Amino acid sequence: MSSKDIKELGWDELVPGACLFSFTEPVENVVDLTMDERPYAPTNSHEASVGDWRVEKPVYNRDLCIDCQFCWIFCPDISIISRDKKMIGIDYDHCKGCGICVEVCPTNPKSLLMFPEQTDNEEALASWPEKEKK
């Protein structure tokens, strides 16, 4: 597969069967590699932004998070970035804004909340709600 954008390739350059390759080279130990370390091929969806039609985005508040990893497990788009079992942020190139992460976050107040796409993250964090009384 050439390194050209797939949209630029002529019919005779495409891999028969519209196969897309994940990596540029064979990878035996993929589970031991973090996403940054994997040799993703240009045809891997990790390399393409697929979150550009999001309307609302999740904003993440480090101060409240207990690193339970619920959001990481439940996100259908693998868009929660986690390192050594610690939440470190959201991959906005792939997050579709479905809100599932917010739904499953168990802290009070939630450590993840949905905001309109155009809201600045700093602004969102400044307006974070207080702990809810039971």
Partner 1 sequence: MAEKMQLNEVEVWDGNMAAAQALRQAQIDVVAAYPITPSTPIVQNYSKFLADGYVDGEFIMVESEHGAMSGCVGAAAAGGRVATATSSQGFALMIEVLYQASGMRLPIVLTVVNRALAAPLNVNGDHSDMYLGRDAGWINLCSYNPQEAYDMTLMAFKIGEDLNVRLPVMVHQDGFLCSHTAQNVRPLQDEEAYGFIGEYKPVNSMLDVANPVTHGVQTEEDWHFEHKARQHNDLMNSVSTIKKVFAEFEKLTGRKYDLLHKYKMDDAEVAIVALGTTVESAEIAADRMREKGVKAGVLGIRVLRPFPFKEIQEALKNVKAIAAMDRSAPGGTFGMLFNEIGAAMLQSGKTPVLLNYIYGLGGRDTTIAHLTDIYEQLDRCAKSGKSEYPLQQFIGLRGPKLSFY
Alpha carbon distance 113, 92 (integer Å): 14
Q: Which of 46, 100, 121, 128: binder of ligand SF4 (CB under 6 A)?
A: 100
Alpha carbon distance 92, 51 (integer Å): 7
Q: Residue 80, exposed/middle/buried by CB under 10 A (0-12, 13-18, 19+)? A: buried
**CA-angle at 77, arms to 71 and 80, nearest 5°:** 40
Task: Establish if 31 lies at the interface with partner 1 (CB under 8 A).
Answer: no
Q: Which of 2, 3, 4, 28: binder of partner 1 (CB under 8 A)?
A: 28
For 27, the token pair is 């990878």
67 binds, among ligand SF4, partner 1, none (CB under 5 to 8 A by kind): ligand SF4
Residues that bind ligand SF4 (CB under 6 A): 58, 65-71, 75, 77, 79-80, 87, 90, 95-101, 104-105, 107, 111-112
Residues that bind partner 1 (CB under 8 A): 6-7, 9-12, 14-23, 26-28, 30, 43
